[in-house]
């Protein structure tokens, strides 16, 4: 909110899921609209957010244009949007001078020894389970996606990137549950996936320490376009 430089009264969330981020923003913004293409996700979201939060079942590409917002944000969901026309459409949703925000990041094993053990048992099945950058930006690059695209966009300016360091622990079963949501594992044949998870389950401790750093990107909608 400090980045905005003025009070933010309206916000639109892209890919709200079950509303983890929605709950946080609803405390600070008077009118929040949470969108998601999955009706079941929105039904779960409504159980946990204030009654004043408006919901709309729609993918980003299906959102009705015409209404603009002081803040449009995506919490670990922007990579699901189509690259074609992404930023021109985003610009139609953010009011001039308003803010776009994207935040998220991968969960990584914090203990190098555990990471090496998991990598060793994973190798016969997968070279890597990392999610590549949507635009191919190398991981060592100073500016990461979507900041790289925002810097090239004629509709946005004042692009900033920051990293919020987080650490927390998961049970071994919750860690395997997390892996089951990653596309690299989902594309394996069911029998292969089950066998790989059995092997990983044997080498991780009962409590798995995780790095969960959040990368935040902010950009301001140009007022002259």
- Structural contact between residues 126 and 186, judged by C-beta atoms closer than 8 angstroms: no
Q: What average pLDDT is seen over the chain?
A: 95
Mean predicted confidence (pLDDT) in 57-66: 96
Number of structural domains (the chain) is 2
What's the confidence (pLDDT) of residue 183? 80
Mean predicted confidence (pLDDT) in 65-94: 96
Co-location of 52 and 142 in the same domain: yes
Q: What is the CATH number of the domain that holds 33?
A: 3.40.50.150
pLDDT above 70 coverage of the chain, percent: 100
Co-location of 67 and 141 in the same domain: yes
Co-location of 21 and 35 in the same domain: yes
Co-location of 44 and 144 in the same domain: yes
pLDDT in tens, 108-162: 999 999 999 999 999 999 999 988 899 999 989 999 999 999 999 999 999 999 9
Residues 6+ apart with CB under 8 A from 61: 81, 82, 89
Co-location of 16 and 60 in the same domain: yes
Co-location of 73 and 122 in the same domain: no
pLDDT band at 98 (very low <50, low <70, confident <90, very high): very high
pLDDT band at 224 (very low <50, low <70, confident <90, very high): confident
What's the confidence (pLDDT) of residue 92? 98
What residue numbers bound the domain in which 175 lies?
Answer: 108-130+168-209
Co-location of 81 and 65 in the same domain: yes
Please check the confidence at residue 8 and state whether its pLDDT lies above 80: yes
Co-location of 102 and 150 in the same domain: yes
pTM of the model: 0.87
Co-location of 117 and 91 in the same domain: no
Co-location of 71 and 124 in the same domain: no
Co-location of 95 and 187 in the same domain: no
Least confident segment among 7-11, 146-150, 182-186: 182-186
Please check the confidence at residue 225 and state whether its pLDDT lies above 90: no
Co-location of 18 and 97 in the same domain: yes
């Amino acid at each position: 909110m400090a980045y905005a430089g003025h009070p933010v009264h309206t916000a639109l969330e892209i890919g709200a899921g079950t509303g983890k981020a929605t709950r946080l923003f609803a405390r600070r913004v008077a009118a929040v609209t949470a969108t998601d293409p999955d009706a079941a996700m929105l039904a779960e979201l409504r159980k946990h957010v204030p009654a004043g939060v408006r919901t709309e079942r729609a993918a980003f590409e299906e959102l009705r244009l015409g209404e603009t917002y002081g803040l449009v944000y995506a919490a670990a969901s922007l990579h699901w949007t189509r690259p074609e026309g992404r930023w021109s459409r985003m610009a139609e949703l953010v009011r001039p001078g308003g803010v776009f925000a994207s935040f998220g990041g991968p969960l990584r094993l914090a203990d190098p020894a555990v990471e090496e053990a998991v990598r060793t048992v994973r190798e016969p099945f997968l070279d890597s389970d990392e999610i590549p950058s949507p635009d191919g930006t190398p991981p060592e690059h100073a500016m990461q996606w979507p900041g790289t695209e925002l810097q090239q966009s004629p509709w946005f300016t004042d692009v900033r990137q920051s990293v919020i360091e987080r650490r927390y622990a998961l049970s071994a079963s919750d860690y395997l549950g997390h892996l089951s949501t990653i596309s690299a594992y989902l594309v394996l044949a069911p029998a292969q996936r089950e066998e790989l998870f059995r092997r990983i389950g044997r080498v991780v401790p009962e409590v798995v320490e995780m790095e969960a750093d959040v990368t935040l990107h902010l950009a301001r909608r140009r007022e002259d376009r």
